[in-house]
Amino acid sequence: TAILADIDCPGRQATCLARLRHTLAMPRRDTHSAPDWLEGGDRGTRSDIAMAIYRSVADWRERRRGDPTTPPRLVLNLSVGLSPDPRAREDFEPASTAALRAALTYAACQGALVFAAAGNEHGGDDESVAGPLDPARFETVLAPDRAGCIEQGFDPPEEDEQLPVFGASRPLLYAVAAVDGNDRPLLNARPRSRSRLAAPGLEGLAEDLDGALTMPLSGSSIATAVASGTAALLWSYRPELRPDQVADLLYSGGWDTGAVADFALGTPESVHRLSVCGALAQACTGADPRTCPALSCRAGPPAGREHRRALMEGLQGLRASP
């Protein structure tokens, strides 16, 4: 929450660029306990996450009907992850996995932009703990077009030229992996879980509501919050962009790390490290500068490389000195 707020409400200004709301997705204290919908916990099931996605989207739709000040766009941040159900196959999908897919499809049909953590658990060479977690692995699934949404009974919004939803293919969600200051996967990264979109995820810090720094945290959940906050920032300036266009700006405005994604919708592409300023600069190119800031920034090489370069230059200077 603090990271999202730092991006969309810098300095905790009175008027923020986006509104943050929370929905309980982890209501259990352990895997086998009953859900506690008041206090919550740090565990959940695919069905719990599916219910949280549905509630978030349905509540947003209801607010839009009754409150004209409700933001016209919705970004869902899923900094959660579950190991894929081992029973799942191409020809069989367990009920809880099907429920999660249905909730993500509902969100996509309503025009929501969803980001999910690729995964943190380090499993070495064990095949059972490799690859992206649920729900991040649904980036490999194509979101339906308007006709497909209607056919599945997901009631997409009326076509609106000012707030378009459909127009290009996109995945059900966008997975986000974490990188360090050298654009390398974190030590706690899940093997073979590199997504095409990455963001800084090492020792993330932000200010809480009292102005104090939060505990430093590392992982793809932190990187996902960076991506979600950036998407909300772009949409606050350019609400007329489609969901896929916003996601494409996050990717194209980032730095090409040279690595290749382990999974994607279609052929895996190179991994780009997100740049908040770089994405916003691209989004505002050609837009009215009175409503969208004209920025000259762009994504650059990792900070680690600059540090090493400065170190080497310093060492060379010492060697050259008498």
Phi, psi values for residue 285, rounded to 5° = -65, 120
Task: Give the domain extent around 284.
Answer: 2-320
Res. 29: pLDDT tops 60: yes
> CATH code at 83?
3.40.50
Q: Is the peptide bond before 135 cis (omega within 30 degrees of 0)?
A: yes
State the pLDDT at residue 312.
54
pTM: 0.87
pLDDT, average across residues 301-317? 60
DSSP string, 146-186: HHHHHHTT--PPPP-TTS---SS--BS-EEEEEE-TTSPBP
Res. 320: pLDDT tops 70: no
Question: Going by DSSP bridges, is the β-strand pair 197-200/270-273 parallel, antiparallel, or unpaired?
Answer: parallel
State the pLDDT at residue 129.
76
Structure-block tokens of residue 203:
């020792």
State the pLDDT at residue 86.
82
State the pLDDT at residue 184.
94
Distance, in Å, from the CA atom of 251 to the CA atom of 248, rounded to the nearest integer, reads 5
For 242-270, write each residue's pLDDT tens digit.
999 999 999 999 999 999 999 999 988 99
| Closest of 263, 35, 277, 245 to residue 131, by C-alpha | 263
Q: Please give the torsion angle defined by the CA atoms of residues 102, 103, 106 and 111, in that order, rounded to the nearest 10 degrees.
A: -130
Task: Output the CA–CA distances (angstroms, integers) from residue 166 to 71, 148, 156, 157, 208, in the order listed.
Answer: 19, 11, 10, 10, 37
Structure-block tokens of residue 159:
């076509």
CB 284 within 8 A of CB 293: yes
Task: Output the CA–CA distances (angstroms, integers) from residue 300 to 16, 30, 224, 304, in the order listed.
Answer: 27, 42, 20, 11
Res. 6: pLDDT tops 90: no
| CB atoms inside a 10 Å sphere around CB 268 | 15
SS3 content of the chain, % helix, strand, coil (to 5): 35, 15, 50
For 134-171, write each residue's pLDDT tens digit.
999 999 999 999 999 999 999 999 989 899 999 999 99
Buried b (16+ CB within 10 A) or exposed e, 279-294: bbbbbbeeeeeeebee
Distance, in Å, from the CA atom of 14 to the CA atom of 129, rounded to the nearest integer, reads 44
pLDDT band (50, 70, 90) for residue 227: very high
State the pLDDT at residue 127.
59
For 52-76, write each residue's pLDDT tens digit.
999 999 999 999 999 999 999 999 9
pLDDT band (50, 70, 90) for residue 208: low
pLDDT band (50, 70, 90) for residue 206: confident
Res. 123: pLDDT tops 60: no
State the pLDDT at residue 322.
46
Res. 273: pLDDT tops 50: yes
Distance, in Å, from the CA atom of 217 to the CA atom of 226, rounded to the nearest integer, reads 13
pLDDT, average across residues 124-142? 84
**Number of domains present in the structure of the chain:** 1
Structure-block tokens of residue 169:
């293919």
State the pLDDT at residue 318.
54
Distance, in Å, from the CA atom of 141 to the CA atom of 264, rounded to the nearest integer, reads 9
Round the average pLDDT of the chain to a whole number and report it: 87
pLDDT band (50, 70, 90) for residue 274: very high
Distance, in Å, from the CA atom of 300 to the CA atom of 145, rounded to the nearest integer, reads 35
